[in-house]
Amino acid sequence: MDVISPHDLSDALGELALDLRWTWSHQADALWQRVDAEAWRRTQNPWTILQDSSAERLRALATDRLFIAELERLTRARREYLETPGWFASAHGIATLSGVAYFSMEFGLGEALPLYAGGLGILAGDFMKTASDLGLPVIGIGLLYQEGYFRQFIDATGAQQEAFPFNDPGSMPIRPAQGPDGAWLHIHLDLPGRVVQLRVWQALVGRVQLYLLDANDPLNSPADRGITGKLYATGTEIRLLQEIILGVGGWRVVEALAPDIEIFHMNEGHAAFAVLERARSYMRRSGLSFWEALWATRPGNVFTTHTPVAAAFDRFPAELLPKYARYLGSFLTETGIELSELLALGRARPNSDEPFNMAYLAMRGSLATFGVSRLHGAVSRRIFQPLFPRWPESEVPVGHVTNSVHVPSWDSPSADDLWTTACGKERWRGMPDTLSALVSSISDEQLWTMASEDRQVLIQKVRMRLVRQLASRGDPPEAVDEAANVLDPNALMLGFARRFTGYKRPNLLLRDPARLARLLNDPVRPVQLVLAGKAHPADLEGKKMIRDWIEIAQQPEFRRRVVFLEDYDIALAQELVQGVDVWINTPRRPWEACGTSGMKVLVNGGLNLSERDGWWDEAYAADLGWAIGDGRECPEGERDAPDADALYSILEQEVVPEFYARDAAGIPRQWLERVRRSMAVLAPTFSSSRMAREYVEQYYLAGAAELRRRMANGGEPAREMQCWELRLRRHWSDLHIGVKTVSRDGPTWSFSVAVDLGGIAAQDVAVQLYAEPRAGVPPFVGELSSAPSSAGTYTGSAPASRPAEEYTVRIIPRCTGAAVPAELPLILWQD
């Protein structure tokens, strides 16, 4: 087509602009730059550019044959992407899993949709993009905030200040979600004395949809319109209402728009009220009791916990919950359960007056719970231990799937070209299993060219940002002019960017300013550092840390070597991870549940120097990067001085010498070998394709299969499981374990023990031998069998490599399909 009407052109451009795939696929960047070069430079937001384009400009573009041809090419490419089956269809297929609803309090997809505060939201955004690329049957459920997380600016005194710009839905790449009747979908929630109406918006993320609930409806009272006013509202009651809207309202969106969804995935416990709403809804449809319905629906619930300290869980005063008993539509009356039973789901001790803990509700309502790194999984087992009294910590049912990043969202253009040449254009739309060998073939010269180009690009962007930053706060002209010349394109570039707070120790490098100055200003081997990060508005310690770096960066000996950039967001993060040589991370172990910022540098040839915490604890190897710390958990502050010394020493004695060790061609061969290994080994491992596969194959498929089993025949299997639970709870105190006898039989011990099951049937329990884990030896769990010749006697064997006294007899629940102890944490130990 040579020409097109301005109206049709606007529609075609709108189709591209409303698909947030442009946040990671940059095929259309040149097209939008042609629409408005200045607006593209300033916003890189196609939806804003299109809305601001005049009718005259659209008429001119409609007659531009080259522009129309490019638009048609991009439209065809998008449709091909949407219509081509992804990895999931070829590996598993819709018959194994009809759909996943991924609930998150925040989603970080890009600056055009600023609904995130930090890592939790970035992970959610990266997962949605990955679901699109892999063809996973996923929808996202979140909230549309009138104000997202604050925007940071540094005032003339070097102090952080906060601004809260309004999120205008009309200027965001979203549109009203249509219900089954074709009208704008609204969800209604009963709250004390009124009904709150929630608007539902839809954002398109490639192949998947993100639905956002919004209380700012004209039919609501001013107070209720403000429920979704701020991301992570500070008031306890408002926060509770947000989580009711996300969980209860979100599940009602699922039932309205995607009723075949089988897996409900909670990204942290904020959405845990959906556990109750899902069970209540199924109860109404099936005729089961509430507790039977919970047994039926629980296999479809998956919970990712991100919190490394129990105090960080969302908890609400017990007296606040009765006020909102109507939030499920007369929930207590309809379900027939007591308020005390509801509160017990969110308490470690059911009959106590503890606050209601959303993470406890999420775990009790889920068949599977997992942390976000191997180390965090172990920490979480300790945190959730109170829910499983007398169970060994190693058997607390928390696994782990290590977080990862959506690589196409974070790679630089030069890195993308290099990976495309080595691995092909479709490399991140499937599993990364074969990429390591392909990346290993990249030459030193190619790697060094990429690193040098990206460092140069980063420095140009840093200078532009710093000039604007200093000029806007009224710095003298000479300081602004100097900002245009900071940093050296040939010097080693260190990067540090994250939330500024005490446990992340962002000032570890400032413990010895004189030593830092010598490191940065070495005349032969200079080093430079770019930093960014926000402190929570109430975190005075974090704000002071920012001020400390601002003051250092203003001193003459540091001014050209240290830059702190304000307003850390996705756009700035993308610039930093694409150009730094070494990414530094200094959390206090084990407070960094995972951390993904260091993963984002991998595809771009960046290396990591980090505390062995979170993901780096499992990723680190001596030929892949550098680590500080001794892998131990210490009291707060105890490791700060030795860790700072280690950080300086590694930089001085290992990192800097290796970067500047050049051959006759001026290439650092040893450095690049480390870069190549890091790219080949770590980038595929910590790509979100691997993470998504683990979600699917470890949790989603099994959960969906068990969900279908329990819902068969009108939920009869779930009804039987509830009866099994009641029988065991009623008669558990009748159980008795006698004295065990033991004899040696070569390499094994033979055990015999008398067991009185009281009123419990033998098939309802398992009698086991157990031995605690010890250094280098995993725990032992072995089954004891009922002796056919002696009623009430159980026998079995265990390795004699352990002393016989290390083995203890125990009884635990057993039922086909039941996850023990996740669903029933009873246990009896031999005295």
Residue 616 falls inside a structural domain: no
Boundary of a domain, candidates 61, 83, 105: 83
Eight-state DSSP code of residue 640: H
Boundary of a domain, candidates 707, 723, 752: 707
Distance (Å, whole) CA 711 – CA 293: 9
Residue type at 301 in one-letter notation: N
Q: Which helix (H) or strand (E) holds 527?
A: strand 527-532
Higher-pLDDT residue of 96, 631:
96
Q: Which domain holds residue 122?
A: 87-150+160-403+700-707
DSSP letters along 719-765, please? HHHHHHHHHHHHHGGG-EEEEEEEEEETTEEEEEEEEE-TTS-GGGE
Distance (Å, whole) CA 754 – CA 570: 63
- Both tokens of 595, joined, read 């951390």
Show the 3-state SS of 254-280: HHHHCCCCCEEEEECHHHCHHHHHHHH
DSSP three-state, residue 714:
helix
Structural contact between residues 49 and 43, judged by C-beta atoms closer than 8 angstroms? yes
Residue 521 falls inside a structural domain: yes
Residue 721 falls inside a structural domain: no
Same-domain status, 262 and 386: yes
Residues 6+ positions from 614 with CB-CB distance below 8 Å:
372, 373, 375, 376, 587, 590, 592, 593, 594, 595
Per DSSP, what are the bridge partners of residue 160? 154
Q: What's the mean pLDDT in 49-78?
A: 94
Same-domain status, 16 and 46: yes
Structural contact between residues 764 and 728, judged by C-beta atoms closer than 8 angstroms? yes
- At 498, which CATH number? 3.40.50.2000
Element counts in the chain: helices (H) and strands (E): 32, 29
User: How big is the chain by its Cα radius of gyration, in Å?
Assistant: 29
Same-domain status, 441 and 531: yes
Give 297-308 pLDDT, tens digit per residue.
Answer: 999 999 999 999
- Percent of the chain clearing pLDDT 70 (strictly above): 99
Burial bucket for residue 130 (CB in 10 Å: 0-12, 13-18, 19+): buried
Q: What's the mean pLDDT in 708-732?
A: 97
Structural contact between residues 495 and 583, judged by C-beta atoms closer than 8 angstroms? yes
Residues 6+ positions from 689 with CB-CB distance below 8 Å:
87, 130, 133, 134, 404, 428, 429, 430, 431, 432
Burial bucket for residue 74 (CB in 10 Å: 0-12, 13-18, 19+): buried
Higher-pLDDT residue of 288, 634:
288
DSSP three-state, residue 781:
strand
pLDDT computed for residue 450 by the predictor: 97
Higher-pLDDT residue of 323, 754:
754
Token pair 């105190």 is at which residue?
A: 733
- pLDDT of 789 strictly over 80: no
Phi/psi-derived region of residue 487, left when phi > 0, alpha when psi is between -120 and 50, beta in every other case: left
Largest CA distance in the chain: 96
Q: What's the mean pLDDT in 403-409?
A: 98
Residue 545 falls inside a structural domain: yes
Is the preceding peptide bond at 397 cis, omega within 30 degrees of 0?
no
pLDDT computed for residue 776 by the predictor: 81
- Alpha-carbon distances, residue 457 vs 1, 389, 461, 671, 777 (angstroms): 38, 56, 6, 21, 51
pLDDT computed for residue 635 by the predictor: 76
pLDDT computed for residue 633 by the predictor: 78
pLDDT computed for residue 320 by the predictor: 84
Residue 23 falls inside a structural domain: yes
pLDDT computed for residue 174 by the predictor: 97
Give 656-686 pLDDT, tens digit per residue.
Answer: 999 999 999 999 999 999 999 999 999 999 9
User: Minimal CA–CA distance to 435: which of 682, 128, 123, 84?
Assistant: 682
Q: In sequence order, what E strands does 378-513 have?
A: 399-400, 492-497
- Alpha-carbon distances, residue 275 vs 158, 214, 314, 362, 690 (angstroms): 46, 21, 16, 7, 27
Same-domain status, 108 and 187: yes
**Residue 295 main-chain phi, psi, to 5 deg:** -60, -35
Eight-state DSSP code of residue 502: G
- Average predicted confidence (pLDDT) for the chain: 94
| Alpha helix stretches (DSSP H) within 440-557 | 444-472, 477-483, 513-520, 540-554
Same-domain status, 342 and 436: no
Q: What's the mean pLDDT in 512-537?
A: 96
Residue type at 182 in one-letter notation: G
Structural contact between residues 282 and 271, judged by C-beta atoms closer than 8 angstroms? no
Pick from 592-601, 634-643, 696-705: least confident: 634-643
Give 130-164 pLDDT, tens digit per residue.
Answer: 999 999 999 999 999 999 899 999 999 999 999 99
Same-domain status, 475 and 396: no
- pLDDT of 1 strictly over 70: no
- pLDDT of 331 strictly over 90: no
Same-domain status, 587 and 630: yes
Same-domain status, 192 and 46: no
Residue type at 414 in one-letter notation: S
Same-domain status, 390 and 423: no
- pLDDT of 329 strictly over 70: no
Residue 730 falls inside a structural domain: no
Same-domain status, 772 and 642: no
Distance (Å, whole) CA 125 – CA 24: 11
Cα dihedral across residues 432, 433, 436, 437: positive or negative: negative
**Residue 176 main-chain phi, psi, to 5 deg:** -60, 140
Residue 611 falls inside a structural domain: no
Boundary of a domain, candidates 38, 57, 83: 83
- Alpha-carbon distances, residue 813 vs 344, 724, 761, 825 (angstroms): 21, 9, 11, 8
User: Minimal CA–CA distance to 497: which of 571, 554, 443, 440?
Assistant: 571
pLDDT computed for residue 790 by the predictor: 74
What total of structural domains would you count in the chain?
Answer: 4
Same-domain status, 348 and 232: yes
Same-domain status, 626 and 647: yes
Overall size of the chain counted in residues? 831
Structural contact between residues 201 and 176, judged by C-beta atoms closer than 8 angstroms? yes
Residue 712 falls inside a structural domain: no
In 10 A of CB 819, how many CB atoms?
17
Eight-state DSSP code of residue 73: H
